[in-house]
Structure 1
Amino acid sequence: MNPSLRNRLVVAGIAAAVPLVAGFEGLRQKAYLDPVGIPTACFGTTAGVRMGQTYSLEQCENLLAAELLQATGAVSRCVTVPLNSNQRTAFTSFVYNVGPQNFCGSTLVRKLNAGDYAGACNELPRWTYAKGVELPGLIKRRAAERQLCLSGVS
């Protein structure tokens, strides 16, 4: 990973999100169709991906870092209450997967901003569908994000 991007992730406090996101997304350097038919590459990147494209490992790592920075930016913009590092990591992973608009307009964020941390974390398992199809990988991912989110919540 580009050292300056890695440093930005550390400064942003989301370096812990890299293994979480990368572990659930997996690395595929050649564009493929995800389970619901969206062209995808690298660590789950969809923006601008066209079938037939290939990416170097460095390109994939840089896309991951840049998209994580965008995801944590959305968390910072939409969440008005303090978050611990585990919550920030869980929500950054979540935003990376569902997108900023879905996150910012969600019941999860309304509960979070009302101070209902446990209620917000418990919203995560509701997000296991893509185009109406429940995906086993999303069930596992949301369970891990929820567990991380609830760490330190009283």
Structure 2
Amino acid sequence: MMPGHGTSAPAPKPKVAAKTLAGVLGSAAAALGLFTMVPDEESGRKVVATIAPTGAVTVKHVSGKQYLKAYLDAVGVATACDGIATKDIKLGQTYTDAQCTTMLERELIVHAEGVVKCIPGIYGRANQAMAVVSLAYNVGVSMVCKSSIARYWNAGQWRAGCDFFPRYKFAGGRVLPGLVARRAREREICLKELPR
């Protein structure tokens, strides 16, 4: 082609690195913890998770029931895999292990981003990040961001914020024993390595 005639091919777009949970939270430990903790809390499923240097996550099922078909949760919401309850989930849908892992990662990233936005100091704090993203995954980012936990943590009062986890034990207007136990576990993780 002669100079000045015709069109040239557009320059290739630079590749944008995919978001990873470890990148959002500033901690691979928090990301690994969430990939094992959330399935255990939501469905009782035990998994082993590994994170590659690229941030890609591999989840291997170890034991417990896999919910590959959408079901109704304790308060009647259509849910899939390990507690994924987005507007796209419809009863009767079936998913593969890989689809469940991809959806879980996407949901954890969305919840983590929301929490980091309203509590910027959580970035890089593995134990507190694990606990609060698990809580947000269960009760919603907006509830966490309006909570006393966020207020205390934004004031640098980490222990006081951790002590509020047990208050989130209601679903459908009633106390659920499973939520009482879950909040106790989240609080215990939250308090790890915090000074007295």
Q: Tell me the TM-score normalized by structure 1.
A: 0.90
Residue in 2 that maps onto 1:131? 172
List structure 1 segments (4+ residues) > 6 angstroms apart after TM superposition.
Answer: none
Deviation at 1:81, TM superposition (A): 2.7
The 1-side partners of 2:157 and 2:20 are apart by 30
The 2-side partners of 1:80 and 1:67 are apart by 19
Q: What pairs up with 1:1-154 in 2 under 5 angstroms? A: 8-12=20-24, 13=27, 14-26=31-43, 27-47=66-86, 48-82=88-122, 84-154=125-195
The 2-side partners of 1:150 and 1:10 are apart by 20
Aligned length: 150
**Partners of 2:79 and 2:89 within 8 A in 1:** yes
Q: Which structure has the bigger radius of gyration? A: 2
Q: Tell me the TM-score normalized by structure 2.
A: 0.71
Change (3 A) 1:108 1:37: same
Deviation at 1:104, TM superposition (A): 0.8
Write the deviation string for residues 50-99 of structure 1: whole angstroms up to 9, x where unpaired.
11111111111111111111111112101133552111111111111111
Q: Percent identity?
A: 37
**Unpaired segments ≥5 residues, structure 1:** none
Between structures 1 and 2, the one with greater helix share: 1
**Partners of 2:108 and 2:133 within 8 A in 1:** yes
Which structure ranks higher in relative contact order (CA pairs < 8 Å, sequence separation ≥ 6)?
1
Structure 1 vs Structure 2 CA RMSD: 1.7
The 2-side partners of 1:102 and 1:67 are apart by 16
User: Which amino acid counterpart does residue 145 of structure 2 have in structure 1?
Assistant: C
